[in-house]
Amino acid sequence: QSVLTQPPSASGTPGQRVTISCSGSSSNIGSNYVYWYQQLPGTAPKLLIYRNNQRPSGVPDRFSGSKSGTSASLAISGLRSEDEADYYCAAWDDSLSGGLFGGGTKLTVL
């Protein structure tokens, strides 16, 4: 069981807005940046959000990240079929002196 907790699944219809949560603790999310990754089937993960809410060049502004206390969220607006993928949150943990990934959320576009 991951220290960063994500719902195992989420779903939405095209055009809808969905959010994926990531719950941690004071030693990880509470005191460090949160990152979000998208992984399409059979491919390497792709950086989607860095430093809580920053988007790398090329990532559509439909994707946004936020953080409050020991939790973080990824929001996807204007959902598209190509957004169907696994999404992972990640954060450094000061107590473990190491990196952590959430368990992942499988997003289905209905």
Partner 1 sequence: QVQLVQSGAEVKKPGSSVKVSCKASGGTFSSYAISWVRQAPGQGLEWMGGIIPIFGTANYAQKFQGRVTITADESTSTAYMELSSLRSEDTAVYYCARVRYSSSFQLTLECDYWGQGTLVTVSS
Q: What letter does residue 97 receive in the DSSP assignment? A: T
Using CB under 8 A as the binding rule, whether residue 63 contacts partner 1 is answered as: no
Say if CB 39 and CB 58 are below 8 A apart: no
Which of 37, 67, 71, 85 binds partner 1 (CB under 8 A)? It is 37
Using CB under 8 A as the binding rule, whether residue 56 contacts partner 1 is answered as: yes
Piece of the chain touching partner 1 by CB under 8 A; list 18-26, 65-73, 77-85, 99-107: 99-107
How many residues bind partner 1, per CB under 8 A? 26
Query: Which pair of structure tokens corresponds to residue 53?
Result: 């809410």
Q: Which of 31, 23, 18 lies closest to 96, judged by CA?
A: 31
Residue with smaller CB distance to partner 1, 12 or 37: 37
Say if CB 4 and CB 28 are below 8 A apart: yes
Using CB under 8 A as the binding rule, whether residue 20 contacts partner 1 is answered as: no
- DSSP codes, 54-66: B--TT--TTEEEE
Judged by the rule CB under 8 A, the positions of this chain that interact with partner 1 are: 2, 33, 35, 37, 39, 44-47, 50-51, 56, 86, 88, 90-92, 96-104
